[in-house]
Amino acid sequence: MERAWIIAVGTELMLGQTVDTNTAWLAERLAGLGVRAVRHLTVPDELAPLADVLRKAAAAADLVVLTGGLGPTEDDLTRFALARALDVELKTDAESLEQIRAFFARRGREMPEHNVIQAQIPEGGQAIRNAWGTAPGIRVAINGTPCYALPGVPHEMQAMFERHVRPVVQEAARGRVLRTRRLHCTGVSESQVGEALAPLMRRGRNPDVGTTAEIGVITVRINALADSPETADQRLDSAEQQVRERLGDSVFGRDDQTLASVVLERLIDRKATLSTAESCTGGMIGTLLTDVPGSSRAYLGGAVSYSNDLKQSLLGVPKEMLAREGAVSEAVARTMAEGARGRFKSDYALSVTGIAGPGGGSPAKPVGLVHVGLAGPEGPAVRTCRFGSDAPRQAIRMRAARAALNLLRLALVRRRGRAARAQCLRTAGTANLPIKVSNGRYV
Ligand code: ATP
């Protein structure tokens, strides 16, 4: 059993009124069992298209899992579609009928007559008990392909899958597993990552390697298929090492780690503290940091110094500097960071000043221009970023917050192994990353 089709049934899904979380959940579970979902389909509550899709799915896949449309109402047509795809009649399953009656009895109610339909199963199929709701699931084989119809309600579907479908799939997979690892990178574009990883991303490889992009973060996903969890993990380890060799310090973390969590880990390791001085990000760096449990062990807090007045009074940015250089300038970013470090008595301080748009840009200082600053025991550093004048305000702000965290992360890494990083970047061919540091040092 290697290839599954997952079918989500419901007109409300087609209209975007309900977000289909069932398919994602099932795909992930099946992958963990070594069964790859090769098709995700969403079908409206219509008999003929659903029956047609079921036949196609059974012909193409080793396993079909479908959710929704098992309720008692007029638009719940899954059981009829299964019967039509099999070309059989529905019959009442006495045990299911009893369980539905008992479900209502436990709630002190009589079973409404139309719920009888939920006990109807296509001939030759089996009912799957639902301990959490009224709709039993249905198992049939269409041309020999096992096909499970589960309820649409996510917690009922999940419980039923775990109890009744997982053991069968696990048995059929005979120990085969698909394991996934995610490596997160920043400071590089998706195409740079694609270029550096091209040999690993070739189609048909095991492990397979792919990328997804989020604001300022590229995630490399590695999927390893193997006959045992140990072998899968070995394959992941080896692929991870190759990815890290090619991408060097652009890789900041793995799986659930975030830029903020790795920065905090390093600071805590070193018993160092951090404060922030934020202008255009309005506290986003603080939010990213305080999202991490235990962040108070390193993060002291900060100032949201949006106006020039607060930049002066809270952080000691000289009035003349603001007049001469403008609030969005390398000098102000550096001075904000130094001011926060002194004022809040932290070992490190991060600052951000920039133009998030959509207004306020000029040819010399366009929307998307952001300076992030760092002050620390090794001296100050500023990175100038141009995120593009067409970028949405929220994206510019999030990228700025992440760029600031990355400036500190790289400074902390640099202390450990500057030479190693230079070597890694040469190997990856990413030595021209858009990193500019005003004090002449390379971070
Ligand atoms: P019921 O007996 O509750 O009617 P059912 O099998 O008929 O169960 P549906 O009527 O299709 O299921 O859906 C019930 C509810 O489950 C929907 O209102 C929706 O909130 C949720 N649901 C259905 N399909 C999905 C899905 N693919 N992803 C997330 N939620 C879903």
Tens of pLDDT, residues 388-435: 999 999 999 999 999 999 999 999 998 766 545 444 444 444 433 433
Q: Whose CA is nearest to atom 20 of ligand 1?
A: 153
| Cα 316 to Cα 306: distance, rounded to the nearest angstrom | 14
**Mean pLDDT of the 190-206 span:** 94
pLDDT of residue 130: 87
Pairing of strands 208-214, 3-9: unpaired
The minimum-distance atom of ligand 1 relative to the CA of 20 is 28
Give strand pairing partners of 180: 223
Can you list the positions of beta strands (E) in 81-197? Answer: 90-92, 120-122, 126-128, 137-142, 145-150, 177-185
The minimum-distance atom of ligand 1 relative to the CA of 21 is 28
- Centre of ligand 1 to C-alpha 4, Å, is 21
Ligand 1 neighbour 68 (Cβ under 6 A): yes
Q: Whose CA is nearest to atom 1 of ligand 1?
A: 71
Tokens 């079918």, located at residue: 7
**What is the helix (H) or strand (E) element at residue 260, kind and residue range?**
helix 259-269
Ligand 1 neighbour 13 (Cβ under 6 A): yes
Ligand 1 neighbour 45 (Cβ under 6 A): no
Confidence of residue 174 (pLDDT cuts 50, 70, 90): confident
Confidence of residue 2 (pLDDT cuts 50, 70, 90): confident
Ligand 1 neighbour 18 (Cβ under 6 A): yes
| Neighbouring residues of 316: CB distance < 8 A, sequence distance ≥ 6 | 335, 338, 339, 342, 343
Mean pLDDT computed over every residue of the chain: 92
**What is the helix (H) or strand (E) element at residue 7, kind and residue range?**
strand 3-9
Ligand 1 neighbour 146 (Cβ under 6 A): no
| Cα 311 to Cα 338: distance, rounded to the nearest angstrom | 12
Ligand 1 neighbour 118 (Cβ under 6 A): no
pLDDT of residue 438: 38
Query: Half-sphere exposure of residue 140, counting CA atoms within 13 Å on the CB side?
Result: 28
pLDDT of residue 44: 95
**Residues 307-354: tens digit of each pLDDT:** 999 999 999 999 999 999 999 999 999 999 999 999 999 999 999 999
| Cα 425 to Cα 432: distance, rounded to the nearest angstrom | 9
Residue 34 vs residue 222, higher pLDDT: 222
Q: Whose CA is nearest to atom 11 of ligand 1?
A: 68
